[in-house]
Amino acid sequence: VAQKENMMASVKISCSVCLDLLKEPVTVPCGHSYCMSCIETYWDGDDQRGNHSCPQCRKTFFPRPVLEKNIMLAELVEELKRIELRSDLCYSMFFGGTRHLGDNE
């Protein structure tokens, strides 16, 4: 169950441009979140057309919104990284052959 929750959290805080975990997460006015560098690059291409749209829902923004790092999301990403690191450790311990069933430590 914990594994499934991790996956769902990963989806929620992953960037739909690079499909990776958000790096320096920013939230655009429609509520979608991207890495700062991904959306900046995306919008640099949009500059020629004069409007800037959300890669996910296609909502357009004018003028180009000023992006600020989403502190809450950034902390969530860090937290998730820690959780995934921990579960990786559990996995290698489990599959590494030293099984101590019922031993929590």
Question: Binding Zn ion by CB under 5 A: which of 26, 38, 77, 80?
Answer: 38
Length of the chain: 105
Stretch that binds Zn ion, among 7-15, 62-70, 79-87, 93-101 (CB under 5 A): 7-15
CB neighbours of residue 73 within 10 Å: 17
Residue 32, amino acid: H
Q: Smallest gap, in angstroms, from Cβ of residue 52 to Zn ion?
A: 11
Question: Binding Zn ion by CB under 5 A: which of 13, 21, 26, 35?
Answer: 35
Residue 101 carries which DSSP code? T
Using CB under 5 A as the binding rule, the residues of this chain from 47 to 86 that contact Zn ion are 54, 56-57
